[in-house]
Amino acid sequence: MNRRSFIKNTGVAGAGATFMLSGVPVRALSPQGIFQQAAANSSNDRVLIFIQLHGGNDGMNMLVPRDQYPMYYSHRPNLALPETGVRSIIPIDPSLPSNRQLGLHPDMDGLRQMYEQGRAAVIQNVSYPYANGSHFRSRDVWFMGGSYNDYFSSGWMGRYLDHEYPNYPDAYPNPQMEDPLAIEIGTGVSLAFHRDNGIPVGLSISDPIGFYNLINSVGGSAPTSLPDTHAGDELEYIMQIEAESNAYAGRLRSVFMAGSNSNVTYPTQYPYLAPQGSLNNPLAGQLKIIARLLSGGCKTRIFLCRIGGFDTHANQVEEFDTTMGHHAALMYHISEGVKAFYDDLQNLGLDQKVLTLTMSEFGRRVPSNGSFGTDHGNAQPLLAFGPCVNKDVFGTNPNLSALQGGNVPLGIDYRQIMATVVQDWFGASPSLVQTVGFSDWVGVGIPFVECAAVGIDNIKQAAMSLSPNPCSHKTTLRVPIHEAGWYQISIYSMQGRKVYERMHEFAPPVYSMDIHTGDWSNGGYVVHCRGGGRQFSQTLMVQH
Amino acid sequence: MASLAPYTQPLTQREAGHLLRRTLIGPTQAEISNATGQFAAQLLQQLLVDDPIPNPPIDPLTNSDWVSPAPGPNNSPDDVRRIQFFGWWIHKMHTQPTTIHERMVWFWHTHFPTIETRITNTAALYYQHSLFRKYALGNFKTLTRAMCIDNAMLVHLDGRLNVAGSPQENFAREFFELFTVGKGAQVSPTDYTTFTETDVKEATRLLTGWDVDGSFTTVDPITGIPRGKLKGNGTIATQHDTGTKTFTAAFNNTSIAPASNQVVDVEAELDAFVDMVFASPHTAKYLCRRLYRFFVYYDITPEIENDIIAPLAALLVQQNYEIKPVLEALLKSSHFFDQDDQVLQNNNIGAIIKSPIEITVGSLRTLEVPFPAPNDLVRHYLAYGNKLTEATGGQGMPFHEPYDVAGFDPYYQFPGFNRLWITPNYLAMRYLWSDSITGGVADMSGLELFKLDMPAFVQTHCSNPSNADVLIKEMCDLLLPIDLDQARLDYFRDNGLLSGITSSGWSTDWTTFTQNGNAMLVEQPLEKMFRIILQSPEFQIY
């Protein structure tokens, strides 16, 4: 794919395409919003990672409601995880009231640790009204960001990125955004990244080096004119994918080569009994690539990983030990994989800017079936990971005496969570939230994101200052304070090594402290200050 | 205004090529040329014909097949026989006669997907495949009924785990959603218009009590192919729910109950159920939409739904679900040949993005690349079974192994459909495949398995290869589904064939080759030519 040249989007392809689905009308969102401040908003470099659990996750065996254990057991005696014994459910937070007391699957100790470290949260009973028992339709709904009867041809992540980065793909890559807007690890591109017009914003890669070598060994120049037919539309689509590949292959390879993982060991195998095909960890490698790309300076904002095997209609446990087996292996893979990932990111000094969410098209039925499995269900728990997450269980335990058709009913609409992400994590303006399609949900967000984004509106609040900067032996940090409280100051070298971390008690109006840098090596540092629901970061240069 | 009115003009070369590209997997130059000037209706008489039922795959270890008698200790292990089965099938595609049969076998495989790793016995897959082969141009209802109790399907969608008192909904749900009525607009929490959650539960009850027959001795009297059997003693279906099943308004509130728990009555109940589902108007429409997307174009507008899908569905019902008349009506229509209106923008010639099957097997057939013969069994299976499935896997289609039960995304997933074959990785791998054709693929010892003999091919498939323009034009006419403008033809000529040489230099070299047979002079320019054409966006469509 060298010597690329491509036609500027003349609007022929994809423009005005009417989307129909088996005779069902489609409501398309308004295509291009007015969004002049995209450049300013891009100063928010936060990253969102979705881990898609493909098939419908059995949340009831991931997080067991401890307050209703006998009822849990009676619903699924052939799958129930034990309450006591060597391998029993792990209580995660004794401080919570009994109606939010949960026990983790015994193979999720990594998740327990992360929760205790303030790096994980649980959100219960997530679904949407009139939830669909179909894998394909339900997954579409989650990715589209709509309701049960919406048929968008775009995904909400695509719409978000389309407005953060207007004029994709023609204006990309550019010096402000050299990297793909979104990356899907693997080889397909899910609906999540589709936009209303044109090619998806997500680039799928599985191996940045191999990808580069591959891209550069094939292809040629595109035709300079296209027929005005359906064939021409398909050609234009193909050409844009080719151009996108050329544009990004070199960059991703450089970023990947520049980056590195720390010495954290990523898990590879489930250590207990499970079917052969379930033993390998399919997630760890994907997260490892992401960590390395981020450490190399990749500015991609959204990543999607996918792991399959959750459609556990049968044989989700080992018959003689319900704590082991196929589903247990999946729980282990998620728990240990994500923990290794965040330990790696922390060593690299990147963990503060990464939020990870699990998502699955639906949960599974609470009563098990006769095949040691579960059928399609409704609401499910979601996991959120990252230092910027509020360590808590959001939503009360499902009432196992009041199931609907054996399913956990809707408690929290998935869009409440996604709206929270778009507004609190990405710092989107209200008009952007509306264009993404979540304005109905903003007022009812779930407060699981602890560090509110520094969006445009917040920029007026003076950020912290470091003076002098560059400094030699000492610099003075000043932070405007609205409410007294404890704040954490962490300072990292550019190699990701933490050189300072302490809690300080701040009081209004301005907190001021000296940082002594006499013993530090020359170079750049990043100073983070967190507290009072806010976060500031600033680079500091030390030159002796 | 789209129209099924038959197209009655003699077919141009482009139109003949279009029909053959859509009905065959990789038509040859001779096939296209023979079809040019014929009428669509005539041509379809020849295309809509069953191929003879082939002999089953031979196991090199025993030199006989493993179907009858069943495989024994001297046979290859199951995973090796799996590759033999895949290779045997791909060989059939590569060497197909000039009929639509292989393409229809593929269609049914995409309509009733089975994830091969869930099936531990290759014979079960082979027998399921035999149903597709037998009913390729046959009766959709008969085929569907057979799939309900096909051994591989009973494992794949857990039908064999569904017993009275312990229902398992997997098959019933996918039976409605994927195979028959499809899913319509969701009008309430449990109502998808074409079926409801209650219908899933009732159908689940109706489908209880079946088991696989691993001996493959239960032969269906109608299909003649081994299938599952009811759990019990052979006369009584002991694990079948014999109560009355009441379906919803989506199925006219029909109630179905077996006359008794005798096997014969439970089988009759299954027939009644299939009749009921096929009485729904949605069944024919759903299948016709799948046929349309498979043969014509992925986007179905309201106009297409009214003018093409609805009449085709009515025809399918009127023909009692025989597929052939519907295929004929669609494929000889003025709509199919872009002749039903004067609007260019909705033309469908060249509008489908190839699947990895068209990219790999299709190119090999069009370029008439020879493969190790069936009597060279080990290398035959290596080439067809291992190498080709590796190639399709890298292009996003692991053979017989879609990621989930709905099959490979491009065949059904809104809104992208066949565009989902094109991602940066897959596209690059599709381009890279051309190197396998021109550079050849060898076995572990370095002995060539298959390779396009470029000079020989050009010599027999071009009217005047020494003329660069004629060569480029004729190769593009064969390999690409649409006409190219002069600028594009010149690009292929100057950056491919004539990259680094002049037009008269080429002419001289070719003439020398025809005189002394020294292919070295012409190999390199020909390789560049094939590479540049096969690694183009135009080659990705058909």
What confidence score (pLDDT) does residue A502 get? 84
Distance, in Å, from the CA atom of A64 to the CA atom of A88, rounded to the nearest integer, reads 11
CB B430, CB A217: distance < 8 Å: no
Q: For residue A194, which residues of chain B lie inside 8 Å, CB to CB?
A: 415-416
In this complex, do A54 and B348 lie within 8 Å of one another by their Cβ atoms? no
CB B163, CB B140: distance < 8 Å: no
What confidence score (pLDDT) does residue A485 get? 76
What confidence score (pLDDT) does residue A143 get? 65
Q: Which residue has the higher pLDDT, A323 or A143?
A: A323
CA distance B174 to chain A (A): 9
In this complex, do B422 and A223 lie within 8 Å of one another by their Cβ atoms? no
Please tell me what DSSP assigns to residue A187.
S
Q: Which residue has the higher pLDDT, A213 or B270?
A: B270
Distance, in Å, from the CA atom of A462 to the CA atom of B329, rounded to the nearest integer, reads 72
Q: Which residue has the higher pLDDT, B62 or A198?
A: B62
Give the DSSP letter string of A444-507: G--TTB-S----GGGGGS---EEESSSBSSEEEEEEE-SS-EEEEEEEEETTS-EEEEEEEEE-
**Is B492 part of any domain?**
yes
Please tell me what DSSP assigns to residue B116.
G
| Residue at which a domain ends, from B313, B346, B379 | B346
The tens digit of pLDDT for each residue in A309-326 reads 898 888 999 989 999 999
The residue type of A56 is G
**Is B375 part of any domain?**
no
B331 and B462, same structural domain? no
CA distance B496 to chain A (A): 10
| Residues in a beta bridge with A489 | A502, A529
Q: Which residue has the higher pLDDT, A301 or A408?
A: A408
Distance, in Å, from the CA atom of B121 to the CA atom of B240, rounded to the nearest integer, reads 25
Distance, in Å, from the CA atom of B290 to the CA atom of A284, rounded to the nearest integer, reads 38
In this complex, do A218 and B431 lie within 8 Å of one another by their Cβ atoms? yes
And the tokens for B513? Answer: 């080759």
Cβ neighbors of A95 (< 8 A, separation 6 or more) are: none
Angle at A350 between CA A348 and CA A352, to 5 degrees: 140
User: Which CA distances in Å does B195 have to A38, A216, A409, B180, B441?
Assistant: 45, 50, 22, 10, 50
What confidence score (pLDDT) does residue A188 get? 60
Rounded to the nearest 10 degrees, what angle do helices B424-439 and B520-534 cross at?
A: 160
Instruction: Count other Cβ atoms within 10 Å, centred on residue A239.
Output: 24
Please tell me what DSSP assigns to residue B384.
I
Backbone φ, ψ for residue B138 (5° rounding) = -105, -135
What confidence score (pLDDT) does residue A24 get? 23
For residues A21-57, one letter each, b for 16 or more C-beta atoms within 10 angstroms of the residue's C-beta and e for the rest, the string is bbbeeeeebeeebebeebeebeebebbbbbbbbbbbb
Q: Which of B299, B305, B428 sits opposite A218 (nearest CB)?
A: B428
Distance, in Å, from the CA atom of A267 to the CA atom of A336, rounded to the nearest integer, reads 6
And the tokens for A74? Answer: 């009676």
Q: For residue A10, which residues of chain B lie inside 8 Å, CB to CB?
A: none
In this complex, do A371 and B538 lie within 8 Å of one another by their Cβ atoms? no
ipTM surpassing 0.90: yes
Q: For residue A219, which residues of chain B lie inside 8 Å, CB to CB?
A: 428, 431, 535
Closest-CA residue of chain B to A378: B189
Q: Which residue has the higher pLDDT, B14 or A142?
A: B14
Mean pLDDT, residues A523-529 taken together: 84
Q: Which residue has the tokens 């229509």?
A: B333
Lowest mean pLDDT among A178-187, A380-389, B67-76, B147-156: A178-187
Mean pLDDT, residues B235-243 taken together: 97
Nearest residue to A357 (alpha-carbon basis) of A380, A378, A326: A380
The tens digit of pLDDT for each residue in B330-379 reads 999 999 999 999 999 999 999 999 999 999 999 999 999 999 998 899 99
Secondary structure element (H or E) that encloses residue B453, with its range:
none
SS3 state of residue B66: coil
CA distance B536 to chain A (A): 7
Secondary structure element (H or E) that encloses residue A538, with its range:
strand A534-542
pLDDT band at B148 (very low <50, low <70, confident <90, very high): very high
Rounded to the nearest 10 degrees, what angle do helices B323-331 and B13-23 cross at?
A: 150
Per the document, the length of chain A is: 544
What confidence score (pLDDT) does residue A5 get? 27
| Residue at which a domain ends, from B346, B378, B406 | B346
What confidence score (pLDDT) does residue B64 get? 92
CB A305, CB A278: distance < 8 Å: no
| Gyration radius (Cα) of chain B, Å | 25
Mean pLDDT, residues A392-397 taken together: 94
Distance, in Å, from the CA atom of A409 to the CA atom of A398, rounded to the nearest integer, reads 8
Q: Which residue has the tokens 């990543």?
A: A303
What confidence score (pLDDT) does residue A33 get? 20
Q: For residue B285, which residues of chain A lie inside 8 Å, CB to CB?
A: 22-23
CB B255, CB B261: distance < 8 Å: no
Distance, in Å, from the CA atom of B162 to the CA atom of B211, rounded to the nearest integer, reads 9
Closest-CA residue of chain A to B174: A134
What confidence score (pLDDT) does residue A461 get? 40
Mean pLDDT, residues A457-485 taken together: 71
**Is B381 part of any domain?**
no
| Residues in a beta bridge with A537 | A528
In chain A, the percentage of residues whose pLDDT exceeds 70 is 78
The residue type of A288 is K
B482 and B335, same structural domain? no
- Residue B348, chain A, CB below 8 Å: the answer is yes
Rounded to the nearest 10 degrees, what angle do helices B122-134 and B78-94 cross at?
A: 20
Please tell me what DSSP assigns to residue B179.
I
Cβ neighbors of A411 (< 8 A, separation 6 or more) are: A124, A125, A126, A127, A379, A395, A396, A398
Number of A/B CB contacts below 8 angstroms equals 216
Q: For residue B495, which residues of chain A lie inside 8 Å, CB to CB?
A: 220-221
**Is B62 part of any domain?**
yes
Averaged pLDDT score across all residues of chain A:
80
SS3 state of residue B20: helix
What confidence score (pLDDT) does residue A3 get? 27
Mean pLDDT, residues B102-113 taken together: 98
Per the document, the length of chain B is: 542
- Residue B538, chain A, CB below 8 Å: the answer is yes
Distance, in Å, from the CA atom of A455 to the CA atom of A424, rounded to the nearest integer, reads 9
CA distance B61 to chain A (A): 28
What confidence score (pLDDT) does residue A456 get? 35
And the tokens for B206? Answer: 């109706």
Backbone φ, ψ for residue A492 (5° rounding) = -120, 145
Backbone φ, ψ for residue A295 (5° rounding) = -70, -25
CA distance B69 to chain A (A): 31
The tens digit of pLDDT for each residue in B300-317 reads 999 999 999 999 999 999
Nearest residue to B363 (alpha-carbon basis) of B77, B129, B26, B107: B26
Closest-CA residue of chain B to A3: B495
- Residue B2, chain A, CB below 8 Å: the answer is no
SS3 state of residue B245: strand
Distance, in Å, from the CA atom of A141 to the CA atom of A134, rounded to the nearest integer, reads 10
Mean pLDDT, residues B66-71 taken together: 85
**Is B315 part of any domain?**
yes
A91 CB-contact burial (10 Å; exposed 0-12 / middle 13-18 / buried 19+) = middle
pTM (2 d.p.): 0.78
- Residue B422, chain A, CB below 8 Å: the answer is yes
Lowest mean pLDDT among A207-216, A347-356, A373-382: A207-216
In this complex, do B351 and A313 lie within 8 Å of one another by their Cβ atoms? no
The tens digit of pLDDT for each residue in A335-371 reads 999 999 999 999 999 999 999 999 998 999 999 988 8
Distance, in Å, from the CA atom of B9 to the CA atom of B261, rounded to the nearest integer, reads 58
Domain count across chain B = 2
**Is B182 part of any domain?**
yes
Nearest residue to B90 (alpha-carbon basis) of B389, B336, B294, B338: B389
What confidence score (pLDDT) does residue A172 get? 67
In chain B, the percentage of residues whose pLDDT exceeds 90 is 92
The tens digit of pLDDT for each residue in B32-52 reads 999 999 999 999 999 999 999
- Residue B170, chain A, CB below 8 Å: the answer is yes
Closest-CA residue of chain B to A233: B351
The tens digit of pLDDT for each residue in B391-405 reads 999 898 999 999 888
**Is B7 part of any domain?**
no
And the tokens for A126? Answer: 């997530």
Q: Which of A133, A224, A242 sits opposite B427 (nearest CB)?
A: A242
Best mean pLDDT range from A246-250, A279-283, A538-542 = A279-283
CB B102, CB B96: distance < 8 Å: yes
Whether pLDDT at B213 is above 90: yes
Distance, in Å, from the CA atom of A179 to the CA atom of A309, rounded to the nearest integer, reads 31
Whether pLDDT at A38 is above 50: no
Closest-CA residue of chain B to A234: B351
pLDDT band at A446 (very low <50, low <70, confident <90, very high): confident
What confidence score (pLDDT) does residue A205 get? 67
In this complex, do B345 and A149 lie within 8 Å of one another by their Cβ atoms? no
The tens digit of pLDDT for each residue in A251-286 reads 888 888 899 999 999 999 999 999 988 999 989 988
Rounded to the nearest 10 degrees, what angle do helices B281-295 and B323-331 cross at?
A: 50
Backbone φ, ψ for residue A325 (5° rounding) = 115, -170
- Residue B171, chain A, CB below 8 Å: the answer is no
In chain B, the percentage of residues whose pLDDT exceeds 70 is 100
Q: How many helices (H) and strands (E) does chain A have?
A: 11, 19
In this complex, do B186 and A130 lie within 8 Å of one another by their Cβ atoms? yes
Please tell me what DSSP assigns to residue A270.
-
What confidence score (pLDDT) does residue A7 get? 25
The tens digit of pLDDT for each residue in A59-108 reads 999 999 999 999 999 999 999 999 999 999 999 998 999 999 999 999 99
Q: Which residue has the tokens 């027959």?
A: B213
Q: For residue A376, which residues of chain B lie inside 8 Å, CB to CB?
A: 169, 173
Closest-CA residue of chain B to A306: B403
pLDDT band at A54 (very low <50, low <70, confident <90, very high): confident
- Residue B221, chain A, CB below 8 Å: the answer is no
Q: Which of A134, A151, A244 sits opposite B424 (nearest CB)?
A: A244
Whether pLDDT at B144 is above 90: yes
| Residue at which a domain ends, from B325, B346, B367 | B346
Whether pLDDT at A27 is above 50: no
What confidence score (pLDDT) does residue A452 get? 59
| Gyration radius (Cα) of chain A, Å | 24
The tens digit of pLDDT for each residue in A166-199 reads 766 666 667 777 777 778 776 566 666 666 555 6
Cβ neighbors of A286 (< 8 A, separation 6 or more) are: A185, A186, A305
B327 and B466, same structural domain? no
**Is B374 part of any domain?**
no
The tens digit of pLDDT for each residue in B413-429 reads 888 899 989 988 889 88
pLDDT band at A42 (very low <50, low <70, confident <90, very high): very low
Which range of residues forms the domain containing residue B273? 13-346
Nearest residue to B284 (alpha-carbon basis) of B257, B311, B253: B311
Mean pLDDT, residues B526-534 taken together: 96
